[in-house]
Chain A
Amino acid sequence: MARLPEIERRGATMVVVGPAKPEHIAAFRQVTGYGGALYVDPSLRTFRTAGLVHGWASTYHPLAVVKGVKAFAQGFRQGARQGDVAQQGGTFVLGPGDRLRYEWRDGFAGDNPDLDAVVQAIPTPPARRGPEA
């Protein structure tokens, strides 16, 4: 979320998709303060097509457990779970059009992409020639 201004400055839109139901969207906004595009896919078809990991091994991966314990010690408390808890996430940079610029698939809970790499993958629009209108 911290990189949102940078993402938008580069002319891209942030879109978040969760493995939950439409009625869970409002609570997610409240808890995270995220005000951007936010959708859900309760069928998980988009997650499967994107090749994202699904399974209990990824939720209870040793590194996920370590990260979870650290987060808990820092005061992070998970609320009631909304959505498929065995579904892992991922981050993609797409477009314009059918182009894939960056892909990251979480290997386990707490696994995160390099945000610099995500931002760098956003294509910059071609420079305009001549004076600005």
Chain B
Amino acid sequence: MHRMDDLLAGALARLTVLDETGAVVPLKGLWAERPVVLAFVRHFG
């Protein structure tokens, strides 16, 4: 039985972001072994 919030963690893990070179980075690898504080910020500027 999955908790709703763990479903969100799983949903985010299936997505990707880009690094400064434009390379695709799967979010999954970022918190597979260690916890993360994931901060979504507003526009950079």
> Interface residues, chain A, CB within 8 Å of chain B?
7, 10-28, 37-42, 45-47, 49-52, 78-85, 87-101, 103, 106, 109, 118, 122-123
Contacts and interface: CB of A to CB of B under 8 A. Distances in A.
A118 to B, nearest CB: 6
Contacts of B37: 7, 12-15, 91-93, 118, 122
B7 to A, nearest CB: 8
Contacts of B17: 17, 39-41, 46
Contacts of A16: 39-41
Interface residues of B, number: 34
22 contacts: A13-B31, A13-B35, A14-B37, A15-B37, A17-B39, A22-B19, A22-B22, A23-B20, A24-B44, A28-B44, A40-B17, A42-B18, A49-B11, A85-B43, A87-B43, A89-B39, A90-B39, A92-B37, A95-B9, A98-B10, A100-B8, A103-B5
